[in-house]
């Protein structure tokens, strides 16, 4: 364990800044703060669960020295696992779906991950999914461990132990609303659980693409009768219920169109010069649409969770096939 900690001293995960965003605060007439997770070494929030899952596996002998960490990922968790595993002398094998951005695949490859591209990420019961393939790879190869972020308790724990307390301290307990996209559910569940324990009045709002099943599950406790295909927003939205989702701490989940998120990203870049990630843009688009339903007042302290950076999505979001970009006014 001591050696493990020594080898990790060069990787600084967490303690990312929270900054007030003057553009969005003026636009929405309230106090909007952004938790900037792209300051992590893998440039995303997913370094946090990656660290907890790797440490837990090593400490509890789920993997032996030199083994292979296996994960199904939209890219960010995979990169976090790869850089942490590498620093400790382990290998990584990452299963990504074909909707993963080119930039993320390039980053994974550059960091030394072995990658396999799968048809979808529809969960453990679909033969062509990243999760199924990751699980079967780990089951059929010696000394390979599937971290399984969708069902690993360390995912929520990482955010409960690090992100939640950071936010409480950084806002000096003034936070009134926390808004985050939902993929595995680890972020919103861990942060939500921590913040509600400090002050049960803090609103915890989730964001997902239209057609994803999590809102339906939150409202009814069941899956919808029929699944709809939906336009993906990388990192968020599911057609199964992840084990890492704790709906008890979520006040509501709002849905946005993928196109509205794209427009929000471009508008934000045009106005500020800052490139935000796809799921971060979904939060901004969601605010434009549901400000009233989110019950945000002028004196509130609203924290938006931006898990990664727009540089991961240049080809998908910002380089617009040589077409002019139009900004409908309702987006920002
Ligand atoms: N946005 C991005 C870009 C992500 O990679 C993820 C992780 N899948 C999320 C949002 C959602 O985070 P979580 O898995 O903690 O729900």
Judge if 118 and 35 occupy the same domain.
Answer: no
CA distance linking residue 9 with residue 12, whole number of Å: 7
Judge if 181 and 136 occupy the same domain.
Answer: no
Judge if 288 and 198 occupy the same domain.
Answer: yes
Judge if 176 and 302 occupy the same domain.
Answer: yes
- Please compute the mean of the pLDDT values over residues 107-126 and round it to a whole number: 95
Q: What would the pLDDT profile of 32-54 be if each residue is shown by its tens digit?
A: 999 999 999 999 999 999 999 99
Judge if 222 and 320 occupy the same domain.
Answer: yes
Of 35, 46, 104, 203, the active-site residue reads 46
Report the run of H or E that residue 8 belongs to, with start and end.
none
Residue 280 lies in a domain: yes
Give the number of other Cβ atoms within 10 Å of residue 115's Cβ. Answer: 18
CA distance linking residue 95 with residue 87, whole number of Å: 20
Residue with tokens 């049960």: 200
Full residue range of the structural domain in which residue 270 is found: 2-39+162-326
The complex's ipTM works out to 0.99
Of the pLDDT bands very low, low, confident and very high (cuts 50, 70, 90), residue 1 is: low
Residue 331 lies in a domain: no
Q: What value does the mean pLDDT of the chain take? A: 94
CATH number at residue 26: 3.40.50.1100
Report the pLDDT value the prediction gives residue 228, as an integer from 0 to 100.
Answer: 83
Report the pLDDT value the prediction gives residue 325, as an integer from 0 to 100.
Answer: 43
Judge if 94 and 196 occupy the same domain.
Answer: no
Judge if 31 and 63 occupy the same domain.
Answer: no
Judge if 178 and 252 occupy the same domain.
Answer: yes
Residue 332 lies in a domain: no
Last residue of one domain, picked from the residues 146, 175, 205: 146
CA distance linking residue 318 with residue 311, whole number of Å: 9
Judge if 109 and 183 occupy the same domain.
Answer: no
SS3 content of the chain, % helix, strand, coil (to 5): 40, 15, 40
Residue 294 lies in a domain: yes
Last residue of one domain, picked from the residues 88, 122, 146: 146
CB 260 less than 6 A from any atom of ligand 1: no
Judge if 267 and 214 occupy the same domain.
Answer: yes
| Residues listed for the chain | 332
Of the pLDDT bands very low, low, confident and very high (cuts 50, 70, 90), residue 119 is: very high
Last residue of one domain, picked from the residues 146, 174, 192: 146
Number of domains in the chain: 2
Report the pLDDT value the prediction gives residue 332, as an integer from 0 to 100.
Answer: 44
User: 219 an active-site residue?
Assistant: no
Of the pLDDT bands very low, low, confident and very high (cuts 50, 70, 90), residue 323 is: very low
DSSP letter at 297? -
Residue 157 lies in a domain: no
Atom of ligand 1 nearest to the CA of 184: 14
Judge if 62 and 115 occupy the same domain.
Answer: yes
Torsion of CA 331, 264, 248, 228, to 10 degrees: 90
- Please compute the mean of the pLDDT values over residues 54-76 and round it to a whole number: 97
Asked if the model's pLDDT at residue 315 lies above 70, the reply is yes
pTM reported for the whole predicted model: 0.94
Residue identifier of the C-alpha nearest atom 6 of ligand 1? 235
Judge if 74 and 217 occupy the same domain.
Answer: no
Atom of ligand 1 nearest to the CA of 76: 5
Distance 73 CA to ligand 1 centre (A): 9
Residue with tokens 């806002």: 171
Residue 154 lies in a domain: no
- 178, 192, 235: residue to mutate for ligand 1 pocket, most atoms within 8 A of CB: 235
């Amino acid at each position: 364990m001591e050696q493990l900690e020594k080898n990790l001293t060069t990787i600084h995960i967490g303690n990312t800044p929270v900054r007030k965003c003057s553009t969005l605060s003026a636009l929405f007439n309230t106090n909007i703060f952004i938790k900037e997770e792209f300051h992590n070494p893998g440039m995303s929030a997913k370094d946090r669960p990656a660290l907890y899952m790797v440490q837990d596996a090593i400490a509890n002998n789920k993997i032996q020295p030199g083994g292979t960490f296996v994960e199904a990922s939209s890219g960010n968790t995979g990169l976090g696992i790869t850089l942490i595993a590498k620093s400790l002398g382990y290998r990584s094998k990452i299963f990504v779906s074909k909707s993963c951005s080119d930039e993320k695949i390039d980053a994974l490859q550059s960091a030394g991950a072995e990658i396999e591209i799968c048809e979808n990420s529809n969960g453990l019961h679909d033969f062509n999914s990243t999760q199924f393939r990751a699980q079967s790879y780990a089951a059929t190869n010696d000394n390979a461990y599937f971290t399984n972020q969708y069902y690993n308790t360390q995912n929520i724990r990482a955010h409960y132990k690090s992100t939640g307390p950071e936010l409480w301290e950084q806002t000096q307990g003034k936070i009134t609303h926390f808004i985050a996209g939902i993929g595995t559910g680890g972020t919103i569940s861990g942060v939500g659980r921590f913040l509600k324990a400090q002050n049960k009045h803090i609103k915890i709002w989730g964001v997902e693409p239209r057609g994803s099943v999590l809102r339906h599950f939150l409202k009814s406790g069941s899956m919808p009768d029929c699944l709809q295909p939906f336009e993906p927003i990388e990192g968020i939205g599911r057609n199964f219920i992840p084990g890492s989702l704790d709906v008890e701490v979520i006040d509501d989940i709002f849905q946005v169109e993928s196109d509205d998120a794209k427009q929000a990203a471009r508008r934000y870049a045009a106005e500020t010069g800052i490139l935000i990630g796809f799921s971060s843009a979904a939060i901004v688009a969601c605010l434009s649409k549901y400000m009233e339903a989110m019950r945000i007042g002028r004196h509130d302290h609203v924290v938006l969770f931006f898990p990664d950076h727009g540089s991961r999505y240049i080809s998908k979001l910002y380089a617009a096939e040589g077409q002019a970009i139009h900004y409908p006014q309702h987006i920002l």
